Amino acid sequence: MHWKTPLAATVTIAALATSLTATAATPDQAGTVDPAACSPDASFRGFTDSLDKTTYDGLPVAGLSAINLTTPGHALALVDNVTNTPARVFGLRIGDDHGKPEAAVDSVTVLRRPDGTPYNNVDFDGEGLVAEQGGRTILATSEREPSIRRFQLSDGKQTASLPVPPRFQVAPAGEAQANGTFESLAVSTNGKTLYAGLEDPLTSDGSDAEDRGRNRILQYTGRAGGAYAVAAQYAYKTDPGLSLVELAYVHKDQLVSMERTFVAGVGNTIRVFSVSLRGAEDVTDQASLADAPDAVFVHKKLLFDLVNCPPSGAVAKQPQPNPLLDNVEGLALGGFLPSGRRQLYLISDDNFGPSQITRLYSLAVDLH
């Protein structure tokens, strides 16, 4: 997704740039200070820029908008394809050097229409990614229409498309905003439930007086590799000026979300939250969320704000409140670490531009 600059976000990020320190070391349970802490619930393990401005099989490794772990040490990354190159998914080998991540591309799959011709930037803007059946097939969202399509990883050919309610189509066909639809996709451990999140609100839902977006998350039920149908919609409210760009599954009552924005001359805001679905209300039949009480929206808790992580030697190519920051769009949860916390990876989308970086981040998070 090409970043947008909400007006309210200018004030939000400018305040961060002047008032927040780059390192937010916090006391641990023993009372000692953890120099790697981003918050009480997250510590920074490291980053790598090894993928930045590289190529594989003649294709630029750029525009990485989603990451999904397939097996230990391996992941898939989806390209959002803003240039006239074929839509594609890269396979990544991911290593660990004493906490600092290592990454290298080991494969690429061009995503093809049912007739075998490649999708491109005209009809595919890849944003959300789920690996199915150990990576034999994938589900990928495009926020162009929007759509959720299934592809075989062996040859990249599309084999199915999931239903999308008409009101979620981009206006004038529906109520969704252009460049603000299905930015995120997550799947349950058993493959029976999918979550697709809107980056920005439907026009009928809008934002509140504090510029907090009243977004919707669609829940699908079905089976991995098979058919899915929309089962429910949940209301999600973003922080002021931010957009919902990623979801990850924890368990049936919990997701992890990521919100992001950008202000030229100031930089990015990247925040990660724990989201509770316990008792969440289905808002499918609500024509608008504009008058919905706060109780309707799912509860979220801030896990960390990336600006508060230690810079760790990072260098930014444009102004940032912390040089560690960039246009982070992808998030993936891994397994449990020896500390008892969960591995969490972030990846940034350089938008195929010289002033941004393709960066892989590693953190340890406590999801409670």
- The set of residues, in sequence order, having a beta carbon less than 8 Å from that of 344 and lying 6+ positions away, is 42, 256, 272, 331, 332, 333, 334, 362, 363, 364, 365
**pLDDT by residue (tens digit) across 252-276?**
999 999 999 999 999 999 999 999 9
- The set of residues, in sequence order, having a beta carbon less than 8 Å from that of 313 and lying 6+ positions away, is none
What whole-number distance in Å separates Cα of residue 47 and Cα of residue 262? 21
Q: Domain holding 13: CATH number? A: 2.130.10
Residue 82's pLDDT band (boundaries 50, 70, 90)? confident
Domain of residue 332, residue span? 7-255+266-302+316-365
What whole-number distance in Å separates Cα of residue 126 and Cα of residue 333? 20
Establish if 242 belongs to a structural domain.
Answer: yes
Establish if 143 belongs to a structural domain.
Answer: yes
Residue 16's pLDDT band (boundaries 50, 70, 90)? very low
Per-residue pLDDT for 249 more than 80?
yes
Residue 199 backbone dihedrals phi, psi, to 5 degrees: -70, -40
**pLDDT by residue (tens digit) across 312-358?**
999 999 999 999 999 999 999 999 999 999 999 999 999 999 999 99
**pLDDT by residue (tens digit) across 118-150?**
999 999 999 999 999 888 999 999 999 999 999
Establish if 122 belongs to a structural domain.
Answer: yes
Percent over 90 (pLDDT), the chain: 87
| Tally of structural domains, the chain | 1
- The set of residues, in sequence order, having a beta carbon less than 8 Å from that of 301 and lying 6+ positions away, is 273, 274, 276
Residue type, 8: A
Give the mean pLDDT of 231-253.
98
Establish if 310 belongs to a structural domain.
Answer: no
Average pLDDT, the chain: 92
Give the mean pLDDT of 174-188.
97
Residue 28's pLDDT band (boundaries 50, 70, 90)? low
Identify the pLDDT of residue 68.
96
Establish if 97 belongs to a structural domain.
Answer: yes
**Hey, is 133 helix, strand or coil?**
helix
Q: Which helix (H) or strand (E) holds 19?
A: helix 7-19
Identify the pLDDT of residue 81.
75
Identify the pLDDT of residue 327.
98
Structure tokens at 41: 């619930």
Residue 7's pLDDT band (boundaries 50, 70, 90)? very low
What whole-number distance in Å separates Cα of residue 8 and Cα of residue 68? 31
Q: In this structure, are residues 163 and 230 in contact, taking their beta carbons and an 8 Å threshold?
A: yes
Establish if 163 belongs to a structural domain.
Answer: yes
Identify the pLDDT of residue 27.
58
